[in-house]
Amino acid sequence: NAGVTQTPKFRILKIGQSMTLQCTQDMNHNYMYWYRQDPGMGLKLIYYSVGAGITDKGEVPNGYNVSRSTTEDFPLRLELAAPSQTSVYFCASYPGREVYGYTFGSGTRLTVV
Partner 1 sequence: KNEVEQSPQNLTAQEGEFITINCSYSVGISALHWLQQHPGGGIVSLFMLSSGKKKHGRLIATINIQEKHSSLHITASHPRDSAVYICAVKMSGGGADGLTFGKGTHLIIQP
Query: Does residue number 21 form part of the binding site for partner 1 (CB under 8 A)?
Result: no
Shortest CA distance to 110 belongs to which of 73, 74, 81? Answer: 81
Which residues, 6+ apart, have CB-to-CB distance to 14 below 8 Å?
Answer: 81, 112, 113
Query: Does residue number 97 form part of the binding site for partner 1 (CB under 8 A)?
Result: no
The total of other beta-carbon atoms located within 10 Å of residue 103's CB is: 17
Query: Does residue number 33 form part of the binding site for partner 1 (CB under 8 A)?
Result: yes
Query: Does residue number 94 form part of the binding site for partner 1 (CB under 8 A)?
Result: yes
Query: Does residue number 43 form part of the binding site for partner 1 (CB under 8 A)?
Result: yes
Among 45, 61, 72, 77, binds partner 1 (CB under 8 A): 45
